[in-house]
Every structure is written in structure tokens, then in C-alpha cells.
Amino acid sequence: MKNKKIVCFISNLSFKDEPTVENRLLPYITQTLKNGHEVVLISRDVKPIEALASPNFTHKCFPDNSIRPRGFIARALHENKKSRELLLLAKKLPVDLYMLTIPSMFLLFNVRLLKGNRLFLDVRDLTWHYLSKSNIVHRLARAFFEFMASTSYKYFENIAVTNETERTYFSDKSLPSLLNFNGISQSQFNQLSAIKPVSLNEELVVSYVGKVGVAQNLGFIIDVAKRLPNVKFNIVGYGPLYGEFKSKVESNQLKNVYLPGSACWEEVLECYQNSDILYAQLSSDYSGAMPSKLYQYLCASRYVIYGGEGEAKNTLSLFSNNTVVTPDSVDELVNAINNYQNSNINMDGYDSNLIKLKTHYVRELNVDKLVVNF
């Protein structure tokens, strides 16, 4: 082991409100602790996380109780101000190195505040790439954010990315990066891989587990459910468009769409166990993203249907027992579900998927590539 260091992880988000942030950062933190270092976590949580209990771990919480402005520009200025505040707080700490995490892109844009320190960057999403090119304000903002990002990368000693699209992005800028797939934690792998493949239920069950938001754009499932009245659809999760989606389900009096809302991990496991098909979607604007939820789906040994393009489609081509359809396409999703019912599924494909996941996509194994450089 190298000399003991104090490593500070900084996120401008709350672990409690953003499980994807927790899933991404916890393996970094646990492996850093296992390597004998001390860890300080700075986040927007109201209270310290309970997932870690170590004398070498400190969670400093700086909740943001301010009201986010509505307008795009006002919101960006607000996020920038809050990110600067967090970095200035972090700068006062007696630590040896910092790891900044994005999608909090304004942390990246203000990293010069920590200039002169050892700095690492973990990229989960290049979020400004998702801004619409058809909106003039968004298009100008995207160009400006790209300029700000490009002038900030020079401060980092190492950069970790989640997929090949992001690695190509940095390679095109002549910047080396380490590939750390979003993947799945060892604990989740152990629990999900214990779920056994099943034959068709009496009633076909299609489940979506995750955020109900703009990127997922799940509204079209209403029409899918109308055309497949004998199929049960579970929409497990919450998000900014949940209320709107629920209202549409109720107004259409759909009896085959169930909306249990947010679920704890044990309830998610039960949902996977009782499902035939697991569905996920990202709209075309998010083609560079790879939803970490897909790794859970593959590990649960259930047939996967994904509505999307780009990085996730390419990744799924490496695995068995899945179908990729055009996002927001009612006809293609209906056909994919019907084809599943009329096909003989290769059960050995699920075992093959588990071997690939265990070999290449367990988070704790991947983060060691970066942690070793601390």
C-alpha cells in the first residue's frame, strides 16, 4: 500500500435523492478505505449516509435548502453559485487529493478553485451533451459549457469514464482516460444472480424500474398497454413526470398498469423475481448514456427490452436474451413483447450474461484501476 492519504470525494447532489450517485460513488469510497486511506465525502445530503461505518470515513453534509429558479439560465447561474460554494468549503479541508464527480458539471467548470491540489475526475455523464440542438438557447449553452469543460480538464491527474463513447470523447481531445463501467456492485450482483430464470407467468408481466422523467419519456406506454390488455405493466419508481403519467393511466382507466411508486431494494428484488420482461428506455437525445439499471436487469436473468440507441444499444449487443427497439415506438415495443411470448428463450444465455457481468462489470473491481493511483 502507498502512504496513507486523506481523499475527499465531492458531489453536488444528495445520495438520498439520487441513488445513481450513491451507486457510482460508494464503490470508490469502500475500495479507498480498503486500501488504507481516509475518506471525506462532501455532498448535499441532509444527514450522513448509513451504508458505511468506518472510523476512517467522514461525511460532511451541506444540504441545499434554496428554491431552484425555473428558467434555464437562472437555474444554471444558481447551480454554478452553489457548486462554487461547495468547492470553497472543500478547499478549507486538510486533505491530500480531491475527486470531483459529474453529472454535477458546474463542479468541473469551477475546478480551478482547487488548483494546486491533486485532482481526479469521475465522469458519469457529459450532461451538457444532452441539451437540445433545436433550441437556440440550449445550443449556445451547450457550446459554452463544452468550452468551459475543455479548459478545465487540464487540472486533473486522472479521469475515469463510464463507457466507450465518453472514452472516445476524451481520446479525441488527446486526453487519456480510465474506463470504469457503471456496472453493478458486488453485493447487488450476489443478490440478483441468485434470481433464477422462469418460464412465462400465467399473466405476462413487463416491469420498468427507475426514474420517471424527461429522459425516459414513458408516456407512450399508455398506448402499448391499451393494445396489450392481457399484459401487466409495472412502473416502479418516481420522478418529475410521475404525477402526469399517473393521471394519464387513471384517465384512460387502464387496469393493467400498476404504479407502486418508489421502492426499496428488497421491493425491487421482488419485482424482478415476479417479472417476465424488464423494460428500460432513454430518448434519442441521450444516446451517449448507458443506464446502470440495464446491468441490474441483465443480472436478474430476465428478458430485457430496451428502447434506445447509441452506447446502451452497443453494450446490449454483447449480451444474450435482449431486444433493442426504437425509443417511443408503440409498434416496436408491442411487437417485441409479442415476439417474446412466441419464442423459445435460450436459458443458457442468462448464464453467459452472468459470466460477462462478473468478469467485466463489477464496480469494486473496476474502481481499483483508479484508486491504485491515489
The pLDDT score that the predictor gives to residue 153 is 96
Could you identify the residue written with the cell 417479472? 275
pLDDT digits (tens, 9 = 90+) for 73-85: 899 999 999 999 9
HEC profile of 250-306: HHCCCCCEEEEECCCHHHHHHHHHCCCEEEEECCHHHCCCCCCHHHHHHHCCCEEEE
Give the single-character DSSP code of 184: B
Strand duo 277-281 + 205-209: pairing: parallel
The pLDDT score that the predictor gives to residue 85 is 94
CA-CA-CA-CA torsion sign (46, 52, 53, 54): negative
- Round to whole Å and give the CA distance between 220 and 234: 14
The pLDDT score that the predictor gives to residue 368 is 85
Domain 6-180 has CATH 3.40.50.2000: yes
pLDDT at 315 over 70: yes
The pLDDT score that the predictor gives to residue 9 is 97
What residue segments make up the domains of the chain, in order of their start? 6-180, 187-359
CB 204 within 8 Å of CB 229: no
Collapse the DSSP code of 7 into the 3-class scheme (helix H, G, I; strand E, B; otherwise coil) and give the result. Answer: strand
- Round to whole Å and give the CA distance between 177 and 155: 14
The pLDDT score that the predictor gives to residue 201 is 61
pLDDT digits (tens, 9 = 90+) for 186-217: 999 999 999 987 765 678 999 999 989 888 98
- Round to whole Å and give the CA distance between 59 and 50: 10
The pLDDT score that the predictor gives to residue 199 is 62
Nearest to 308 by CA among 225, 217, 370, 371: 217
pLDDT digits (tens, 9 = 90+) for 101-132: 988 899 999 999 999 999 999 998 898 988 88
pLDDT at 1 over 60: no
**Complete edge-to-edge strand list for the sheet that includes strand 257-261:** 257-261, 232-236, 205-209, 277-281, 303-307, 322-325
In this structure, the chain runs to a length of 374
Mean pLDDT of 274-278: 95
pLDDT at 163 over 70: yes
Domain 187-359 has CATH 2.30.30.60: no
pLDDT digits (tens, 9 = 90+) for 318-368: 999 999 999 999 999 999 999 998 888 888 999 999 999 999 999 888 888
CB 10 within 8 Å of CB 84: no
Mean pLDDT of 137-158: 94
Instruction: Grade residue 2 by pLDDT with cuts at 50, 70 and 90.
Output: low
Q: Do domains 6-180 and 187-359 have the same CATH topology?
A: yes
Strand duo 303-307 + 57-61: pairing: unpaired
The CA angle 3-185-366, to the nearest 5 degrees, is 50
